[in-house]
Structures are given as structure tokens and as C-alpha cells.
Amino acid sequence: MPKAKISRPDQSDTPNQSCPIGVFDSGSGGLTVLHALQVAFPTNDFIYFGDHQRAPYGEKTGPEVYEMTRQAVQFLFDQGCNLVVLACNTASAIALRKLQQEWLPSYAPDKRILGVLVPMVETITDRPWIKWEQHPQQYLQGTVGIFATEATVKSKTYLVEIGKRAPQLDVIQQACPELVPALEAKKGTVTTDALVECYVSQLVEENNKIPNWIMLGCTHYPLLKEAFEKAAAKIIGNIMGQGVPILCQPSICADSLKDYLNRHPELATEATKQQGKTVYFTSGDPDYVEKTTAIFRSHTLSGNNNQALWIKAL
């Protein structure tokens, strides 16, 4: 990934606390996570990078996803980030662990990479990621239904990681390949609501199980939370006679990052200003990306004047 530099204070005279937090996604879905982080850390600076030119990652092989994610993280490190959040389920499921264990120790041992997958697994299983072996969740029973992209479902990462921490919990998954294209093409609520209802029906019928919790395992899907709530009430609520909790990644990831920075204050940002700034990079065409991300501004950035001006990462 070619290096693109932005204007920032001389890092030689600035402690780690002034470094921006990097947020990466293969496309635009990570903007929902970014927004939650902006709300949770209003004085922080952020740098968002969307690899729109090579999206979607779900169609790529595992080695391709790893290498593209590594390049993106390195790009954000080059911009001055000491901490990068992978706001992409595919990258988190396929590349994160290898990056943390094999690449980061030699390339940038003082920097950190986090992902959206870990906070969701911790929330569902009520067990910390690292020390779960000492006290696995033996008594948590029921079924969690995960809606995600095809690549995330095929990776089985959620299924495996939840299973290790809560072996009595059933995990059923449903790939939703048409949701992201419909959202980005602005098909409208009639189309997206119908698609969501179809996928919820498929999950129930193909697995012959009723989920006690629903997890939205794609960072685009918070835009469709109301659609999932309606579909769950119609299809599942009629059977169970009660609502089904729906877990969304943005707020959970923001809470998790707060906890992480409390435990790692050397990566935290000092509150030296009233409002942080965000810089947006894309590997694609900035004008096109600005148009196609308007849906995220209308759904998640209302009341926030942080309109994205995209910069070509060249």
C-alpha cells in the first residue's frame, strides 16, 4: 500500500497520547464502528481507511485477505497510528490473529491491532478473550443466531471461538450476500426489509432452531437493525411470544475499547482539545466513495457535523 502522509504535529516532540486511532474496513461498513468510537471518544483524532478499490474482501482467498489487511494496517501505522481497529468482520476473522502473532511482534512490537470479532464473542459468552480457559462458561444455554457475510460465515471463526468459551451454547449462522449490495445501491427499505425477513426465515427453517439472541456480524448491518427487529418480531416472536435481543457491533466495540484503553493507558489519548478530528482515506475514487457513503451519514452521523472528505491513498 503506498504511503500517504497527512499533516500532524512532529511526532518526535509528541508523546504516544497524541497519536490518532486508526480504523480500517475493506469498504464503508466500518463507518458505523467509527461513529460509535467518535461518540465514545469525542476528543480523539481518528484516521479511517477504506480499501474500496479491492472490496469486497469476502470474495478473496484467505491469503489475499491477510495480505490486504496487513497492507492496510501498515498504511495506518505510517500515518502515525499506534492502535488500529479492524472494523471489518472478514479481516478480523481471517487475518487478525496471524497479524498479532506473526507480523506485529517483528514489525511494530509497540503498536496494537484490535478487531470487532473479539468484543462480540466476549459479550455473548461473558468471558474474557485471554483467560477464558480458566473459567469457561459451562452453564450458558440457548441459541445465538449470527447474520454475516459469506466469508465470515465460511470462516467459522465465531462458531469456533464461541464454542470454546460457551460449549453449551448453540451457534447457528446465516450468510446474507445480498444485503450489503442492496444497501450501497440504495434499494430502499421495501427491498432491504424483504431481504432481511427472508434471511431470518432461512436461519430458522434451515436450522430448525429458534435463536434466543441475534448477533449482527457485519458492520453494515447496524443500518438494518430496525429491519432485523421487525423480522425477528414477526418470525421468531410469534413462536417464542417475546422479543429477541439484537447485538450490534458499534456500541459493543466502543465499550470494549474504553475498557482496553483503561488497561493500556499508554495507548490512550489525552483530552487536550474539545473535539477530535477525523481524516478519511480510500483506495478507491474519492468522489464515488463520498456519494456511496451518504447512507451512513444519514443513518449514523445525524447530529454530527463530521462530513467525510475522502482522500485518495496514493
- The catalytic residue positions are 88, 218
Residue 41, CA atoms < 13 Å, CB-side half-sphere: 27
CA dihedral 244, 41, 302, 175 (to 10 degrees): -40
Q: What does each C-alpha distance from 86 to 17, 51, 142, 170 come to in angstroms? A: 20, 12, 29, 26
Question: How crowded is residue 272: how many other Cβ atoms within 10 Å of its Cβ?
Answer: 9
226 CB contacts (<8 Å, ≥6 apart)?
none
Cα 238–chain centre separation: 31
Q: Which residues pair with 83 in a beta bridge?
A: 21, 112
* Grid cell of 40 as nine digits: 465514545
Backbone angles phi, psi at 149, to 5 degrees: -75, 165
* Grid cell of 55 as nine digits: 472490496
* Grid cell of 267 as nine digits: 495507548
Report which secondary-structure segment, H or E, holds 200. helix 189-207
d(CA 250, CA 87): 9
Question: Counting Cβ atoms within 10 Å, is residue 166 exposed (0-12), middle (13-18) or buried (19+)?
Answer: buried
Place of cell 516532540: 13
Secondary structure (3-state) at 24: strand
d(CA 29, CA 219): 5
d(CA 172, CA 211): 8
* Grid cell of 102 as nine digits: 506473526
